[in-house]
Structure 1
Amino acid sequence: MPAEQTSTPSHAAVDRVTAALAEQGLAPRIVWFDDAVTTAQLAADALGVELGQIANSLVFTLDDEPILVLTSGAHRVDTHWLGEQLGGRIGRASKEVVKEATGQVIGGVAPVGHPAPVRTFVDTDLAAYDEVWAAAGHAKTVFPTTFDDLVRITGGTPTAVEPGRTAAS
């Protein structure tokens, strides 16, 4: 686990995420790391959890519309395949598009706390875990949640993100 903080740090994006979670009836513990955890593996190691429990927040464009894909850290999104499933073409969003769509920077994008709703897809592989961890608006922050709550708070669509996987109900 990360080192205990003697005081709670503050950051505007994390504050927006905390407020958005509270609006959805959630008050999870925001965990602050001493250093940025810029990969799912680093986050899993720091938390002492399985890699698959990390919900990576990836911003893509679907035919020029920003979308958020919350995917298990245990695998990658097959953008070509997923684009076909969604009826369009998926591309990697630029850092400018990520910032504009979410109000957050790459490495700390949370599922919520954005200036406006972002169309969201939630990897069905995350449903295999009782607890998953998502970024909380800054590269040094995460919070625990569940698959069902991720879908609920984001208004997301449960979706397989690579071939051979099935969407959960």
Structure 2
Amino acid sequence: MSQDESTAMENSLPESAQRVADLLRTLGHRPPVVRLPASGRTSAEAAAGLGCSVAEIAKSIVFRQLADDTAVMVVASGAYRVDEGRVAALVGPLGKADAAFVREHTGYAIGGVCPLGHPRSTIVLVDRLLLAFDRIWAAAGHPHCVFSLSPQELLAMTGGQVVDVAEVPAAGHLPA
């Protein structure tokens, strides 16, 4: 994709996704924000739109730390459920993060929460299973927009801590 094509595509992004594109550019991240043809609110929808496996989708789940109302974001493979008990064992008691809390703390609406660029301090935990992939896809601030990066770039951009919080099937097989 030429620089002109990339710039034209980014100029047609929704405002929240444009903020992410600008932040990524400031960080020196080259791959552009991609607008999906349909919704990417769920990992399955995003994977279908990208033609990748659900496991390669880096979903962002936000919890509310009860001790001080800090947002706790878990970035995990879209193929697995996050074990809230494991997260609480790492950061303390958790509460539900409703839509208003998520927007206030991350700057994004549920369904398009980007793992970076939050207006308030956020604890970021990255599930270890994401490290198995060369490239992953994360929400770019809007339910129809995503961007690709490596797990190492995700850790560097977010300051995230690698943890084991996914519910892995008993056989321990990774989904395709």
After TM superposition, the score normalised by the length of structure 2 is 0.83
Rounded to whole Å, the distance in 1 between the matches of 2:148 and 2:9 is 20
Rounded to whole Å, the distance in 1 between the matches of 2:151 and 2:42 is 20
Q: 2:83: which partner in 1?
A: 78
Rounded to whole Å, the distance in 2 between the matches of 1:60 and 1:94 is 9
Moved over 3 A (4+): 5-8, 162-165
Instruction: Identify which of 20, 26, 29 aligns with 2:29.
Output: 26
Shift of 1:24: 2.1
1:85-119 CA-partner distances (Å, limit 9, x unpaired): x1411233010000001111000000112223421
Instruction: Identify which of 59, 84, 100 aligns with 1:56.
Output: 59
Rounded to whole Å, the distance in 1 between the matches of 2:9 and 2:113 is 25
Query: Retained in 1: the 8 A contact 2:71–2:121?
Result: no
Q: Does 1:133 align with 2:123?
A: no
Tell me whether 86-95 or 132-141 shows the greater mean CA deviation: 86-95
Rounded to whole Å, the distance in 1 between the matches of 2:154 and 2:10 is 28
Q: 2:159: which partner in 1?
A: 155
Query: Percent same amino acid among aligned pairs?
Result: 36
Instruction: Identify which of 112, 120, 123 aligns with 1:119.
Output: 123
Rounded to whole Å, the distance in 1 between the matches of 2:116 and 2:39 is 19
Instruction: Identify which of 67, 73, 82 aligns with 1:68.
Output: 73
Q: Does 1:146 align with 2:131?
A: no
Could you tell me which runs of 5 or more consecutive residues in structure 1 were left unpaired when the two chains were aligned.
none
Shift of 1:36: 1.6
Q: 1:109: which partner in 2?
A: 113
Query: Retained in 2: the 8 A contact 1:121–1:158?
Result: yes
Rounded to whole Å, the distance in 2 between the matches of 1:148 and 1:88 is 26
Rounded to whole Å, the distance in 2 between the matches of 1:19 and 1:149 is 16
Rounded to whole Å, the distance in 1 between the matches of 2:9 and 2:79 is 32
Rounded to whole Å, the distance in 2 between the matches of 1:98 and 1:155 is 19
Shift of 1:68: 1.1
